[in-house]
Structure 1
Amino acid sequence: MTHRKFRTLPLVAVVLLAPLAAGCDDKGDSKAEGKTLTVLAAASLTDVFKQAGAAYEKTHPGTTVKFSFAGSQELAAQVRQGAPADALVTADTTTMDALKSETGTPTVIAKNRLTIATAKGNPKDIKGLADLSRSDLKVVLAAPAVPVGRYGAKVLDQQHVTVKPVSQEPNVRAVLSKVSLGEADAGIVYTTDAHTAKDKVTTVTIPDAQNAVADYPAASLKSSRHTKEADEFVKWLSTDDAQQLLRAAGFQQP
C-alpha cells in the first residue's frame, strides 16, 4: 500500500500543475505576440493619426501604435541618427526621397493644400497672399526647412509677394499656435490644421491657381525590428478605412 501511494503522488502533482504550466505558456505566448509600432509622422497628421491608430489597433489585436509627431525635417534627422522607429510619414516627397537608403518603397497616402490662418474674425481684413506683405501685419511662417515653410515660400514667390515674418517656426502646429494665441495676425498653414482650430482662427482661401499641393508619403523603415507589422501598417493607410478618416479630416485623395 505504501509503495502504491508513493508512486501515485507524482502523477497527481503533474495533473495539478499541468494547467498552471499551460497558463504560464499562454501568458508568455500572448506577451510574445504583442508588438508596439513607433511611427514618426508629420505634425499636421497629429489629430487624424491618433484616430487612425485607435482604429488600427481595434482590427489588429496585439499591435499597439505609438506616434511621434514633429516637422518632417526633424523626423528625417531622427531617422538619420538611428532613433528606434518602424515607419515614417512626411508632409513632402523631398524629405522622404532623401531617405531612400533608410526606407522601404514609399506610398503617397494623402494630399493637402495651404490656407491663410488669421485671428478669429479676420480683424485685419486680410483678403489674400498679397496682403501678407503689409507692414501693419505680424506674419508668422514655418522655417524654410519645414515642408509647409517650403510650400509657403513657393506660393509667395510665384505671386511676387515679399513677407518679413516675425518668426519662423519648426512645424505647422507652431505657426497655427502663434496665430490662435494672438501672437501673430496671420500665418500660412495647411487647410487641415486650420480646420482643427476653426473656433480660434479664421481662414482666407488661397485659390487653386496660386496654391501648392502637399504630398504625404509613408514608408516602413529598414531599421524596424517589426518589418512585417510596419509594412502592414503602411499598407493599411491606403485602405478605405484609413482613407475615410483622412478625408473626414480634410485631407485630399492621393
Structure 2
Amino acid sequence: MSSRRRRIYEGKAKILYEGPEPGTIVQYFKDDATAFNNQKKGTITGKGVINNRISEYLMTRLNEIGVPTHFIRRLNMREQLVRQVEIIPLEVVVRNVAAGSLAQRFGIPEGQALPRSILEFYYKNDQLGDPMVTEEHITAFGWATPQDIDDIVALALRVNDFLSGLFLGIGIKLIDFKIEFGRLYEEEMVRVVLADEISPDSCRLWDLKTNEKMDKDRFRRDLGKVEEAYQEVARRLGILLDPGAGDHRGPATVQ
C-alpha cells in the first residue's frame, strides 16, 4: 500500500491508522500473538489474514440482525475500514462453559457447562493486568454510565445467542468470548456499538465432537497447530481466503 498513513495506535494484535475520510479508521491485523498480558509472545503465520476475514464475516452477520458495530468493510487481506469510536475501557467477557480463569478462580472443571451464561467486566489496562470489575466500579469511576451498561449487557447477550447458534451449526462450541464496545457519535446522537474484533484470538472455540481447542489457547498452552486451528474455523464458516492476493506487512507510516 503506497499511501503514507498516520499510525494512531498499535496494540498487541492490531495497528490502527487514520482512515481515508473523517470519522474512519483502518484496522490492520498483525500475525503477532501474545498471552498472559503480553508475558508470552510469538507469531502465528497468517493469523492476521484469517482473523481479518473471520471478524469481517461475523461483524457483517451481526450487522444483518441489527447489532450495531463499527465495521464498514474489508479493504484487503489484512485491513478493514471501521468507524472511529470512543472505546469504552472495558473488556466484556461472556462465558457459557467453564474454562480459563473462571475455571481456576472457582475450582470448576474446565468444560463444565455453566448454569447460565455469565457476563463479566474487566478494566482495560495492561499495566494492571486487566482487573475484573463490577458495575459499581464502572459507574463510580465514570468508565460507563448505567445506560451504557444496560446497552452493553443487552448487546453482549444478543451477540452470544447469535454466535452460539452460528458456531453450533458448523460443529463448534462457543465456550466464551471477549468483546469491546465504543461510543459512536453521529450528529446529535451517541450510540454504543460493538468494536474491536471477533476472532479465534478473542473466543474460545471447541470442536463439538472432540472438544479439540480451535482458538488462541493452542498458543497459550503450547498445543501446536495454531495456524491449522484458525484455518479450520475459517473453513467451517465457509470463508475462502483470497487466492494469490499479495500479502503485505502494512502501509508505510508517518509519525
TM-score range, shorter chain: under 0.3
With the length of structure 1 as denominator, give the TM-score of the two structures: 0.27
User: Which one has a larger percent strand, Structure 1 or Structure 2?
Assistant: 2
- Say which one has the larger Rg: 1
| TM-score, length-scaled by structure 2 | 0.27
Compare relative contact order (CA 8 Å, sep 6+) and give the higher one, 1 or 2.
1
